[in-house]
Chain A
Amino acid sequence: MQTLPKRIKGFSNRLKSFEVNHMKKPHSLSAKEIIEKVRGGELKAEDCVLSIFNRIEEVEGRIHAYVTLTKELALQKARKIDAKVKNGEVLGRLPGVCIALKDNLCTEGILTSCSSRILDGFIPPYNATVVNLLLKEDAIIIGKTNMDEFAMGSSTETSYFGATKNPWDSSRVPGGSSGGSAAAVSAEEAVLALGSDTGGSVRCPASFCSIVGLKPTYGLVSRYGLIAYANSLDQIGPLSRNVYDCALLLNVLASYDPKDNTSIRVPSQDYTQFLVDDISDLKIGIPKEFFGEGIDERVSKIIWESIYTLEKLGATYEELSLPTLRYTLATYYLIAMSEASSNLARYDGIRYGYSIDYDSKNWNEVYSKNRRIGFGSEVKRRIILGTYALSTGYYEEYYLKALKVRTLIRDDFNKAFKKFDVLVGPTMPIPPFKIGEKITDPLSLYLTDLLTVPVNLIGSPAISVPCGFVDDMPIGMQIISPALREDLLLKVAHIHEQNNKFKDYAPKL
């Protein structure tokens, strides 16, 4: 086992004792442990739910991870699972595991807001495909988590319901846009959570909250029922406190869906089988640009330590250059904003969501007012800029140009993947920043997505795993693989996790 770097000495009080593991309350257990215990009749699903809700009661006031809690539904589901256990019926693959859902996943009969006022009161008449998959596997949905409005942000500050706080330091952001999901998992208010990742929205908060976050290959997980931000980039991803749990959840999520045209037909597999302790043939590429301009040196240093660890475990590494990385942020934002401007056109307040009283006003006035009041500033900015990028005279110059540069970026990565199995670098260029620090300057916030957006543009998967602390704040390492090589990501993430103690640190709450 690797010795802990000096800089996290101050965290020794946060290191959970292995000796008391067997006394852990259910909310602190891993999904793997819960599944085993529930199957074995040692633990009731109902107790898992009660334990989680006790924990939520205890810490939620300081975190604000959730926008909606569904305790009654969770208890009902738990009792059904317990009855199944009692009657010896076949259980799903995630029995008793309490899962939080980002509030951009449609849940039938449960408020779904995207943390936006414009969806005020919206109760979807259907479940997202992933929600049905989870329920089928006897997972328990405990609530909907806070997010940046329509997933537009990296700090969860643009939520209409107010910011979520980083469990490691409540004056700091948890990252975003799946900040509520990451904070909930980190603070043990959920065992697992789903987020969505358009430009880093799973990996960024995973990094900032010191948990595991995976963005799967575009098309591996059905988007049906995921409220779109940028539909050619969006992908649902799991958040967990360890790599094994991440693999367990991915087992359920990765499933072909005829309702999603972009869904990929791949045979279902057990991702936990890839969690083996052998990376002797692994060739790691280190993109220089991931350690260049705009990257906090303290972050770089920590990532390098992890790379050395992987080297010690048998992997080889080599630096490389991805010259097109210089263009990824602009490319990403142009594409994402353009798509968003169209995806968010449907919010006019008539069929669902917020509306002013519209007697005596015509449709144009009502729509324009509803959208003024219903959308927050960041969403408006992106819709208007996206509209601009698609408008006559600018389509070629902005949107189409960005799509062409996207081709070059993909070519650049494909070239790298010919030589390397995975690429490694930081997830975020900087440690978690203060709430309010960047929100007034949109561009400065955009710049924090520098290292996460490339994989969304190329469709590849990437995972963020905890790998240390800077000034007591978590740092995540990002591992990137070619499309549909989640097995590699999980393998590297797992062996990295097994050789340090970061997963055993919990925020002091």
Chain B
Amino acid sequence: MANNTLNKNVKIGLEIHCQLTNLNTKLFCSCSADYRGKPSNTHLCPVCLGIPGSLPVGNKDAVKDAILVALALESKIMNRLVFFRKNYFYPDMPKNFQISQYDKAGGVPIAIGGHVTIQAGNRKKKVEITRIQIEEDPAKLLHQGSIDISPYTLVDYNRAGIALLEIVTEPCLKSPKEARIFLQKLRAILEHLGVSDGKLEGAMRCDANISHIGGDRVEIKNISSFKEVERALTFEIVRQKSLLSRGIKIKMETRHWDDVRKLTISLRTKEKEQDYRYFPELDIVPITILKEEIEKLRRKMPELPDARWTRFMEKYKLPTYDAGVLTNNKALGDFFEECVKIYPYPKKVSNWIMTDLQRWLHEKNVEISKSKITPQALVSMIRLIDKGIISGKIAKRVLPELIITGKSPEEIVEEQQLLRISSRREIEKLADKVLENNPQAVKDALVDEKAVHYLVGQLMKLSKGKADPQLSNEIMKEKLKSFLNK
């Protein structure tokens, strides 16, 4: 997609919802927050099921998490914690209002302002944060087939009441790609803080608003993973662009990202306007956030991606780009550092991670922390190369096996008989076969030094890459010499 041509007139703002996955319990009740993979409707109490008479009590650690995030994004932390009710009806809402925060009508979010610095192309860009607020997650709805034809809706309230952080950006992003880069960076920050684990399904979701100059704002809801954001935004920009080119004005509306069909659909089934009627949640007494509390948390702040980036460059002497990639993903950075602990050649490790490992993870669509490769395995593999037991080429074949099976490189080499062939006799046999099968090339080689390479290549191919390249080269040259002498 020709993103660049679209960029000029487009403004994108994001509203990110991150579950605080490091918490044991939900935001306003003591039900376990560890709901993934659990039977439906088993993590419920009167509070999170909206049973009449129940009352919410805030989770201390959720507030700590929010403060940590605010500190990391350099936001201004407000001195009062106040919750508001956002009133609207929907089948995923246990109370038909959501306990959230609000920046108007006497409300304050936990923090305002702040920014995230991203690497946009070869320059740095500050993405401005509008506000950060704490709120509760709604339930999960299951439809029979597509949402618009499902004859009923199954509701699992286990997710209802999980603590969410809503992070809102200014409409300052210029392209879907920039949005993706920003989200990746934000995710890295949250993961370094240890508050939200982006690899968990649905832990990070996103709504986006997009506008072209001269057009109204269009909101896109239900982008269920960061990966989908770029795609959804690109689709929407193209859609708007095409409307504009036909002289059709873009109206303010909310659209739904259909991640099965990969397109946005209008949610304006009714022409009536929603009105959230925000007002204070009086069941929760406002709390003063003490400066000392904030300072205590500030002192406990873990290393963040940018600081880690600098450290990787200084300590491991990595190039800027490598250090950037490795620290833009917490798990990748951790993996790298684990490797370096047992194998002190950072650049070598980084090369493997940056190229083949990343490519394979991407290809298999798996997060490094979810893949089976361990730092020990990668290091063992590099050591096999160092010792000349396998070639670099063979290693490239071993690596995906490490990712998929979790076996040690030695095991894989053994099983698939990938050991390097370094016996002179065996290579001579292979060379003879190559010479026999390529009479023309032999003739060429006798006059042209360069054709020798071709023959060596054929030998390598015949050995499935296992032949020692150095030795193969030597032997091939010897053989050709003997031809000449004949």
Contacts and interface: CB of A to CB of B under 8 A. Distances in A.
Nearest to B58: A261
Contact of B53 (A128, A345, A350): A128
Contacts of A309: none
A392 interface: yes
Given A338-B279, A346-B94, A224 B53 contact: yes
B97 A342 contact: yes
A106 B53 contact: yes
Contacts of B255: none
Interface string B128-171: 00000000000000000000000111010000000000000000
B102 to A, nearest CB: 11
A209 B283 CA distance: 32
B153 A261 contact: no
Contacts of B285: 261-262
A411 to B, nearest CB: 19
Contacts of B483: none
A367 interface: yes
A351 B53 contact: no
Contacts of B46: 106, 124-126
Interface stretch (B84-92, B292-300, B375-383, B430-438): B84-92
Interface in B93-143: 94-97, 105-106
Interface in B272-301: 275, 277, 279, 282-285
Interface string A364-399: 100100000000000000000001001110010001
Contact of B282 (A227, A232, A350, A360): A232
Contacts of A223: 55
Nearest to A114: B52
Interface string A120-162: 0010111010000000000000000000000000000000000
A261 B284 contact: yes
Nearest to B282: A232
B50 interface: yes
A224 B58 CA distance: 15
Contacts of B56: 261
Interface size class of A (residues with CB under 8 A): 35 or more
B51 interface: yes
A227 B53 contact: yes
A346 B52 contact: yes
A125 B94 CA distance: 16
B471 interface: no
B316 to A, nearest CB: 50
B57 interface: yes
A348 B96 contact: yes
Contacts of B284: 261
B275 A125 contact: no
Contacts of B313: none
Contacts of B91: 350, 363
Contact of A399 (B52, B152, B275, B279): B279
Given A390-B87, A395-B105, A339 B282 contact: yes
A370 B106 CA distance: 34
Contact of A226 (B53, B90, B155): B53
B54 interface: yes
B49 interface: yes
B340 to A, nearest CB: 48
Contact of A367 (B89, B94, B95, B277): B89
Contacts of B282: 231-232, 262, 339
Contacts of A351: 49-51, 94
Contacts of A341: 87, 277
Interface in B21-54: 46, 49-54
A391 B97 contact: no
A456 to B, nearest CB: 13
Contact of B277 (A106, A228, A347, A390): A390
Contacts of A128: 53
A124 B55 contact: no
A231 B284 CA distance: 10
Contact of B279 (A347, A367, A395): A395
A433 B97 CA distance: 38
A226 B285 CA distance: 18
B92 to A, nearest CB: 10
A260 interface: yes
Nearest to A257: B55
Given A126-B46, A346-B96, A391-B275, A261 B51 contact: no
A345 B96 contact: yes
A225 interface: yes
A125 B51 CA distance: 9
A162 to B, nearest CB: 22
A352 interface: yes
A346 B275 contact: no
Contacts of A338: 279
Given A106-B52, A363-B153, A348 B89 contact: yes
A484 interface: no
A259 interface: yes
Give the residue among A259, A346, A350, A359 with the most B Cβ atoms within 10 A: A346
Nearest to B270: A364
Nearest to A387: B277
Contact of B275 (A224, A350, A392): A392
B285 to A, nearest CB: 5
A183 B285 CA distance: 35
A106 B45 CA distance: 14
Interface string B358-396: 000000000000000000000000000000000000000
Nearest to B50: A346
A16 to B, nearest CB: 38
A294 interface: no
Given A126-B46, A258-B57, A390 B279 contact: yes
Contact of A227 (B52, B57, B94): B52
A29 interface: no
Interface in A181-200: none
A119 interface: yes
A338 B52 CA distance: 17
Nearest to B56: A261
Interface string A329-367: 000000000110110011110111000000110011001
B105 A400 contact: yes
B52 A228 contact: yes
Contact of B55 (A125, A224, A348, A367): A224
Given A261-B55, A390-B87, A345 B95 contact: yes
A104 B52 CA distance: 9
A227 B55 CA distance: 10
Contacts of A258: 57
Give the residue among A104, A226, A348, A399 with the most B Cβ atoms within 10 A: A348
B107 to A, nearest CB: 12
A114 B52 CA distance: 10
Given A231-B282, A262-B285, A395-B279, A124 B53 contact: yes
30 contacts: A105-B53, A106-B46, A114-B52, A126-B46, A126-B54, A225-B53, A228-B53, A261-B57, A262-B282, A338-B279, A342-B85, A342-B97, A345-B87, A345-B96, A346-B50, A346-B96, A347-B52, A351-B49, A351-B50, A352-B51, A352-B52, A359-B151, A360-B151, A363-B90, A363-B153, A364-B89, A390-B279, A391-B277, A392-B275, A400-B106
Given A223-B55, A390-B87, 8 more contacts: A114-B52, A126-B54, A224-B55, A260-B55, A341-B87, A348-B89, A352-B51, A352-B52
**Which 5 pairs across A and B sit closest by C-beta, in order of nearness?**
A345-B96, A390-B277, A227-B52, A232-B282, A225-B53
